[in-house]
């Protein structure tokens, strides 16, 4: 498989062409916007928590390249029904896959179990060979992180 | 008429153009961001470091004198190259961004107040927007914007109203996104009528066509060395002497003073007043060598070559990609530079650039540091291919083939 085919796996192109959970949510859903200052891509995450404290709905807006759009689409499918803590754990695994360590922590390769948990998202591992695209792949996650913070702070 | 230069033979002067990317010959189409440089420039810089290097304007020993002479002879070359009446009006900076910041921080801070207005265009690079916005936050003046009209050109229908009472008009001679060559003569005339000072961001035009600052009748002209075959780390600000003399210094330090006591300082004369600290000495030598190279080919010839290449690219890309491709900017090649901002139906600029890179073709994706313009165009990113004297039709063909690949790769 060429690096390019590895980067653009069929599952990624599928999420790009048919993004899951695309759209907007009205308040009381929380909203966070993320920008990639290098290319001007933007992602909006709308987040609604249910009475049981899990993510009951999530929608993704904005525009960007196949990597940022498919990553956000896969992310939205992966975190739906999860608690904020579980969503953050998934984010840490995903960032590990992208060779990014959380602040103050050692970089840990995700375990096979964590990769299984990532599901479709594991298809994005080819991105790591293209350092400029890692920012594309993590844009949605960083925006989700902000939305989760907003939820926790009740803003 | 003597035969024109052999552009096809120029590639061999640029060692990097003989290298490969991902096993494919490098097709470099990002000169609007930064050009490559010929061995003549690299050799001149090598010679300077190996044989004639010392700090300038300080030592009395022969080596320091040789370095000073080389640095000052570069200033003379730049002055001649852009038709400056007096070489003391050439100020060496780090890049065009610093040149524009110098104008804002020195002339702007001394001349702009809360009741004033300045005029910019929506097609400016951030380098000609943000320095003014930074000063605006401090001084509270108004910034008015010349809007975009049809075919990637400025809408000048309200130019006199916009300039009415304005103290400054600052604009790009050529858009780094659209390639549009703005009507300098018309704009400068309108600014003069309104009594406004004129500052030109000439980054994209100076490397690609003849420039004469005296004919342009502007007050400030900024450009970068690295976009015109020179090294990175050197830029130029040309300014009208009477304005430069009246302006306060920009950065403080050694080299820019005539006298310092514990009580205060006296600035040196222009241009030293604006060149604090050790300047880009060898970079100036490299820029001088770049100018020698460009002059040997002739700026008129370079302009003609790029018009022909742009016309060929417009034709070839349309033929190959049809309705799937949008090329922003003026449709008439003589009204634009060799800068093609491309959109491909259903394929994001990042993805275009990624596929092109795998074919050895280097283009730039993104907003090109011109977000207000991108907003006006209603796009958040384009893939930009830009040409220079070392590009030829084979580069355009490689671009067209790679774009066709990207289109089929991402086709729904």
ipTM score = 0.82
- The pTM is what? 0.92
* Topology (CATH) of B42-296: 3.40.640
Q: Does the N-terminal peptide bond of residue B222 adopt cis geometry, omega within 30 degrees of 0? A: no
Asked whether the beta carbons of residue A64 and residue B380 sit closer than 8 angstroms, the reply is yes
Helix axes B281-297, B39-51, angle to 10 degrees: 150
Query: Can you give the residue ranges of every domain in chain B?
Result: 7-30+299-410, 42-296
Q: Is the pLDDT of residue A104 over 80?
A: no
Mark yes or no for CB contact B366/A39 under 8 Å: yes
Q: Do A133 and B354 touch (CB under 8 A)?
A: yes
Burial-class residue B363 by CB neighbours within 10 Å (0-12, 13-18, 19+): buried
Quick one: which of B381, B335, B404, B371 has its CA closest to B128? B371
Residues on A contacting B at a C-beta cutoff of 8 Å = 2-4, 7-8, 13, 16-17, 38-42, 63-69, 130, 133, 136
* Contacts of residue A106, Cβ cutoff 8 Å, sequence gap at least 6: none
We report the CATH number of the domain holding residue A122 as 3.90.1010.10
- Which among A7, A40, A69 has the least Cβ separation from residue B381? A40
Per CB-CB distance under 8 Å, the chain B contacts of A134 are none
Q: Do B354 and A41 touch (CB under 8 A)?
A: no
What sign for the dihedral angle of Cα B172, B173, B176, B180?
A: positive
How far is B117 from A76, CA to CA, in rounded Å?
A: 47
For residue B157, the number of C-alpha atoms closer than 13 Å in the C-beta half-sphere is 5
The H or E element that residue B136 is part of is helix B130-139
CA distance A83 to chain B (A): 33
Give the single-character DSSP code of B103.
I
Determine the distance in angstroms separating the CA of A72 from the nearest CA of chain B, rounded to an integer: 15
Q: If you average pLDDT over every residue of chain B, what do you get? A: 96
Which residues of chain A have a CB within 8 Å of the CB of B348? 64-66, 69
> What is the structure's pLDDT at B47?
97
The 10s digit of each residue's pLDDT in B295-333 is: 999 999 999 999 999 999 999 999 999 999 999 999 999
Mark out the alpha helices in B223-338 (DSSP H runs).
241-246, 281-297, 299-321
Farthest-apart Cα atoms in chain A, separation? 47
Would the pLDDT of B18 be above 50? Answer: yes
C-alpha to C-alpha distance for B212 and B189, rounded to whole angstroms: 16
If you measure CA to CA, which chain A residue comes closest to B358?
Answer: A4
Q: Range with the lowest mean pLDDT among B39-48, B53-62, B225-234, B269-278?
A: B53-62
3-state secondary structure of A55: strand
Nearest Cα neighbor of B29 from B317, B332, B335 is B317
Domain count across chain A? 1
Residue B222: is its pLDDT beyond 90? yes
Residue B378 three-state SS: coil
Q: Environment class of residue B25 by beta-carbon count within 10 Å: exposed (0-12), middle (13-18) or buried (19+)?
A: middle
Phi, psi dihedral angles at B121 (to 5 degrees): -115, 160
Tokens of B192: 């003069």
What does chain B come to in residues?
A: 412
Q: Tell me which residues of chain B have a C-beta less than 8 Å from any C-beta of chain A.
A: 348-351, 354-355, 358, 365-367, 371, 374, 380-381, 409-410, 412
CB A136 within 8 A of CB A36: yes
Residue in B369, B389, B399, B402 annotated catalytic: B369
> What 8-state DSSP symbol labels residue A72?
H
Q: CA angle, corner B335, sides to B331 and B338, nearest 5? A: 80
Residue in chain B nearest A38 by alpha carbon: B366
Q: Strands A30-35 and A42-49, how do they pair?
A: antiparallel
CATH class of B7-30+299-410: alpha beta
- Which residue in chain A has the smallest CA separation from B382? A39
| Torsion (CA) A71, A77, A82, A84 in degrees, nearest 10 | 30
How sure is the predictor about B1, in pLDDT bands with cuts at 50, 70 and 90?
A: very low
pLDDT digits (tens, 9 = 90+) for A18-38: 999 999 999 989 999 998 877
Q: Which of A2, A16, A42 sits opposite B380 (nearest CB)?
A: A42
Distance from CA of A40 to the nearest CA of B (A): 6
pLDDT digits (tens, 9 = 90+) for B89-126: 999 999 999 999 999 999 999 999 999 999 999 999 99
- SS3 of A122, please? helix
| Structural domain range at position A132 | 3-153
Known catalytic membership, residue B369: yes
Closest CA to B247 of B87, B75, B109: B109
Run of H or E residues at A13: helix A10-17
Nearest-CA distance A123 → chain B (Å) = 17
């Amino acid at each position: 498989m060429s690096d390019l085919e590895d980067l653009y796996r069929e599952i990624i192109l599928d999420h790009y062409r048919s993004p899951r959970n695309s759209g907007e949510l009205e308040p009381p859903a929380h909203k966070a916007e993320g920008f990639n200052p290098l290319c001007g891509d933007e992602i909006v995450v709308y987040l609604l928590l249910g009475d049981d404290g899990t993510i009951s709905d999530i929608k993704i807006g904005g525009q960007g390249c196949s990597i940022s759009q498919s990553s956000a689409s896969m992310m939205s499918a992966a975190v739906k029904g999860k608690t904020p803590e579980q969503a953050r754990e998934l984010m840490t695994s995903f960032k590990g896959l992208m060779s990014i360590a959380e602040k103050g922590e050692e970089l840990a390769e995700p375990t096979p179990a964590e990769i299984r948990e990532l599901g479709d998202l594991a298809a994005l591992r080819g991105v790591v060979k293209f350092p400029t695209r890692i920012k594309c792949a993590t844009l949605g996650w960083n925006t989700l992180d902000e939305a989760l913070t907003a939820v926790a702070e009740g803003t | 008429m003597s035969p024109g230069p052999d552009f096809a033979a120029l590639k061999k002067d640029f060692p990097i153009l003989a290298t490969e990317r991902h096993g494919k010959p490098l097709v470099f189409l990002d000169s609007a961001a930064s050009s490559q440089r010929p061995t003549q420039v690299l050799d001149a810089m090598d010679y300077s470091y190996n044989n004639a290097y010392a700090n300038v304007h300080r030592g009395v020993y022969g080596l320091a004198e040789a370095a000073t002479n080389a640095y000052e002879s570069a200033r003379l070359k730049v002055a001649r190259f852009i038709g400056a009446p007096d070489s003391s009006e050439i100020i060496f900076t780090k890049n065009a961004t610093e040149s524009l910041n110098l104008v804002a921080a020195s002339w702007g801070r001394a001349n702009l107040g809360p009741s004033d207005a300045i005029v910019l265009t929506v097609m400016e690079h951030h380098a000609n927007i943000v320095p003014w916005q930074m000063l605006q936050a401090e001084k509270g003046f108004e910034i008015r914007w010349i809007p975009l009209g049809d075919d990637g050109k400025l809408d000048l229908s309200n130019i006199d109203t916009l300039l009415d009472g304005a103290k400054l008009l600052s604009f790009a001679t050529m858009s780094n996104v659209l390639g549009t060559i703005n009507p300098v003569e018309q704009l400068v005339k309108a600014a003069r009528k309104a009594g406004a000072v004129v500052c030109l961001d000439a980054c994209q035009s100076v490397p690609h066509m003849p420039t004469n600052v005296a004919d342009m009748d502007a007050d400030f002209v900024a450009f970068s060395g690295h976009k015109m075959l020179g090294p990175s780390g050197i830029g130029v600000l040309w300014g009208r002497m009477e304005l430069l003399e009246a302006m306060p210094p920009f950065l403080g330090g050694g080299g820019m003073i005539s006298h310092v006591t514990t009580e205060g300082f006296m600035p040196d004369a222009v241009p030293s007043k604006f060149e604090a600290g050790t300047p880009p000495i060898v970079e100036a030598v490299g820029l001088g060598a770049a100018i020698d190279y460009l002059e040997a080919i002739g700026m008129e010839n370079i302009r003609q070559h790029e018009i022909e290449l742009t016309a060929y690219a417009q034709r070839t890309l349309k033929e190959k990609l049809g309705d799937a491709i949008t090329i922003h900017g003026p449709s008439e090649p003589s009204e634009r530079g060799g800068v093609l901002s491309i959109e491909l139906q259903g394929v994001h600029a990042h993805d275009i650039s990624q596929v092109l890179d795998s074919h050895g073709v280097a283009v730039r994706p993104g907003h090109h540091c011109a977000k207000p313009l991108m907003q006006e165009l209603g796009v958040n990113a384009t893939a930009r291919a830009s040409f220079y004297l070392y590009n030829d039709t084979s580069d355009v063909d490689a671009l067209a083939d790679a774009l066709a690949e990207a289109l089929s790769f991402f086709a729904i």
